[in-house]
Amino acid sequence: MGGRVHLKPSCPAGKVESMSDPIASPEGFDPLHCVRGPTRQVIKSWIRSESQRPIPWSPLSKSLADCRVALVSTAGIRLKTDKAFDAQGERDNPWWGDPSYREIPNSTRTELIHCDHLHINTKYALEDINSVLPIEPLAELVEQGFVGSAADTHYSVMGYQIDSDELEKSTTPIIANKMLSEQVDIVVLVPV
């Protein structure tokens, strides 16, 4: 193989191993249908046992050309004028990650952001915001008519969350409600 990765151009929807499979949905959709063997087992092991529940599958009810799209990055980016993510708290306790979020206006450009993430090479984010929050590619899709509109606000959180309880129970509902108020139809998660 010489270090090359070979991917099948497409793979048919696989059969769900069982309805107790934590990755399967009640409707039988398996979001990891193309992942097999050891890789599938590793991904399944990342799902905490207390949260092993079906991943909801929500089919898109309208054309993408009629949808408003918001972006969520896990890069810990913020506007330079915003409060920094708590990197010191993370240095003091490496088992903790700042569960707060920052709002990133759709008009934001690279020179207006800073990146506080301790677990990634922030160089790329600081050189091009689109590497961690693809605002400009989204704008191009809107301009070309593939996407209806971009949300006025996008969001960033710290991706390093050993214990995600506060992120799940406090931060995520706040972000979701803000998206609902902006009539967002689709959320694109940009993990780093």
**Same-domain check for residues 49 and 89:** no
On whether residue 6 sits in a domain, the answer given is no
> What integer pLDDT is reported at residue 17 of this predicted model?
40
In this prediction, residue 18 carries a pLDDT of: 39
2 assigned to some structural domain? no
> What are the backbone angles phi and psi of residue 133, rounded to the nearest 5°?
-155, 90
- pLDDT value of residue 46: 61
Nearest of 77, 82, 135, 144 to residue 107 by alpha carbon: 135
Mean pLDDT by 10 residues, the chain (192 residues): 38 41 48 66 61 70 95 96 92 87 96 90 92 96 97 94 87 96 96 88
Domain count, the chain: 2
Q: Which domain holds residue 20?
A: 16-57
Assigned domain for 8 exists: no
118 and 45 co-located in one domain: no
- Same-domain status, 45 and 78: no
- Is there a domain that residue 159 lies in? yes
pTM of the model: 0.72
How far is 189 from 107, CA to CA, in rounded Å?
Answer: 19
Question: What's residue 192's pLDDT?
Answer: 86
Considering the domain architecture, whether residues 114 and 167 belong to the same structural domain is answered as yes
Co-location of 86 and 180 in the same domain: yes
In a domain, 44, yes or no: yes
Give me the pLDDT at residue 142, please. Answer: 97
Q: Return the structure tokens found at 35.
A: 């992942």
Residue 163's pLDDT is 81
